[in-house]
Amino acid sequence: MAAAALRARDLVKSYGSARAARRILDGASLDVERGELVAIIGRSGSGKSTLLHLLGGLDWPESGWIEVGGERLVARDADHIRARRVGFVFQAFHLVPELTGLENVLLAARVPGAAAQTAERGGELIERLGLGPVAGALPHELSGGEQQRFAIARALAGDPDVVLADEPTGNLDAASGALVLDLLRAAADAGRAVVVVTHEPEATGRADRVLELRDGRIAP
């Protein structure tokens, strides 16, 4: 049996120090298969975004381990693994304001370890998402839905094994949010493992599984 696209075991993460220290994650474990969309819910401050950042190698646990596409995520190889295997979609879009939508998507091709066809795939995604007419616009000239579609194109351009989305519809109107969820569902259906942190019923309704982060652990 093939390994899950994303595996995490016994993740522990705290913030603060001494008496002010607060343990956010306390043994969280998770498996996500290829072709699966998993929604993670939990109250505000429960550590959902922290978990997502650990899963993608943007931050590091105090203990526990993570595997992405069968590769153990370790600090010395994190940038390389992330470039080849992980796509991020952030609630705040995180587009570079000085670059056009197209240039933002093509940044994925400049990350160390990116596949040779990343730039070509990015251009294809822009056309597929109906962004061709605004590809030369700067982020402040785009609607929220357009910005998020560019962010998704950037996340998918490297053909990642895993897509991580942090409240991807939180800043969008209903129509734009529905389109973003369609894109994430399609990414899962195309064989990627997709993890969405959300509090939106519309997002959980598209998921294959809904898991709750509670008391630092993942509960079904």
Q: For the residues 190-207, what does the mean pLDDT come to?
A: 94
Helix segments in the chain, DSSP class H: 48-55, 78-85, 101-106, 118-128, 144-157, 174-189, 201-204
Specify burial of residue 76 (Cβ count, 10 A radius: 0-12, 13-18, 19+).
exposed
Confidence (pLDDT) at 64: 96
- CATH fold for domain 6-15+23-219: Rossmann fold (3.40.50)
Q: What is the pLDDT of residues 89-122, one digit of tens each?
A: 988 889 999 999 999 999 888 877 777 888 999 9
CB of 138 within 8 A of CB of 171?
A: no
Q: What is the pLDDT of residues 133-179, one digit of tens each?
A: 999 999 999 999 999 999 999 999 988 999 999 999 888 888 888 88
The model's confidence at residue 45, banded by pLDDT at 50, 70 and 90, is confident
Confidence (pLDDT) at 2: 63
Confidence (pLDDT) at 76: 75
CA 45 – CA 51 distance, rounded (Å): 11
Confidence (pLDDT) at 20: 74
Q: What is the pLDDT of residues 122-132, one digit of tens each?
A: 999 999 888 99
Q: What is the pTM of this model?
A: 0.91
pLDDT for 1 beyond 70: no
> Which strands make up the sheet holding 22-32, listed edge to edge?
22-32, 6-15, 63-68, 71-72
CA 138 – CA 121 distance, rounded (Å): 21
pLDDT for 80 beyond 80: no
Confidence (pLDDT) at 92: 86
Exposure string over 15-25, b if 16+ CB within 10 A, otherwise e:
eeeeeeeeebb
| Residue pointed to by tokens 């734009």 | 176
Q: Which two tokens stand for residue 30?
A: 């998770």
How far is the CA of 17 from the CAs of 47, 138, 195, in angstroms?
17, 41, 30
Q: What is the pLDDT of residues 10-35, one digit of tens each?
A: 999 998 877 777 899 999 999 999 99
pLDDT for 37 beyond 60: yes
